[in-house]
Structure 1
Amino acid sequence: MKYGSIILEKTEYITLKRLLNLSESYKKHPRKYSVDRLKNELNQAIIVDEADIPKDVIRLNSVVTVTTTDGWENSFELVLPEESDYQTNKISILTPMGLAVIGYAQHDVIDWEFPGGKKSLHVESVSQKNKKQTI
């Protein structure tokens, strides 16, 4: 892991904690492992201000490309659940993939148990979409 722990921006950390608390209904759902693992990772997460978050860290609205050793590749934008749209490759933070990658950085390797089995994901690229300016 590039930075020793996952890194989250403060407001995104709070949003993620709220979403995970609401996801308690996943106790017997295939996402249970992903929710539980991310909750554990949050205990050691590095929480930073917006200005201090490295550009290569996966966060909300990041565009990410991941691969596996068996040749699988996927590119997507990580979004809030209400913005999820598979047709435009917008993946919810609450999917197993979203829960797996949040807070990791480009070139990290993530071993994660998905509903279809264990995968070792390599984060090939991370880019940040421009955030809307507020006045």
Structure 2
Amino acid sequence: MREATRHREQLDIIVSAVDHDRLTSLARTALDRLPDMADELLSEMDRATIASADAMPAGVVRMGSTVTFRNGGEDTKRITLVYPGQADIAENKISILTPLGTALIGLAAGQSVVWKTRDGKERVLDIAEVEPPSLDAQS
């Protein structure tokens, strides 16, 4: 599934050291259950620039961030990026172990990415705004 976010290679992504450690561990644990998504997330973590929490630039998508974006020509959407156990589509909480979640991590407001949905459709995602995670989402 490496091509799910094949256009991300041209984009610089940055993740905090804490997110990098947690997401790498999560992906390794998920290799048996969700091999495609786990492999995709591991690939993203391998190429990410890692920064300390204090050095993370404002407006970068990290775990717990709330992201406002346009998905192609569709209306603006607002989601929060969460770990799998916290995901709830009714509350717009999207798991990192989904194509959308993996496409978002490490990007910043103003960036766009081409990604593939689970049904193979290509989408263009334009990030309009990134709200930082709440304090309790960071622990």
Letter in 1 for 2:126: H
Residue 14 of structure 2 is matched in structure 1 by: 7
1:71 CA displacement: 2.1
Deviation per CA, 1:45-79: give whole Å up to 9, x if none: 11010100011000011000121332243211111
Tell me the amino acid that sits aligned with residue 73 of structure 1.
T
Q: For residue 60 of structure 1, what is the aligned residue in structure 2? A: 63
Aligned: 1:71 with 2:74: yes
Alignment counterpart, residue 114 of structure 1, candidates 114, 117, 137: 117
Give TM-score, length-normalised by structure 1.
0.83
Unmatched 5+ stretches in structure 1:
none
Further displaced range: 117-126 or 36-45: 36-45
Q: Which amino acid aligns with 1:130?
A: S
1:75 partner SS: strand
Structure 1 residue ranges, 4+ long, deviating more than 4 angstroms after superposition: none
| Match for residue 86 of structure 2 among 83, 87, 100 | 83
Distance 1:68 1:85 in 2: 19
Residue type at the aligned position of 2:16 = E
CA distance in 1, matches of 2:118, 2:76: 17
Partner of 2:130: 126
- Deviation track 1:93-128 (CA, whole Å, cap 9, x = no partner) reads 112211110111101111111113111111111011
**Residue 91 of structure 1: how far off its partner (Å):** 1.2
- Number of the residue aligned with 1:47: 50
More helix by share: 2
The size of the alignment, in residue pairs, is 126
Q: Over aligned residue pairs, what C-alpha RMSD do you find? A: 2.0
**1:18 matches 2:22:** no
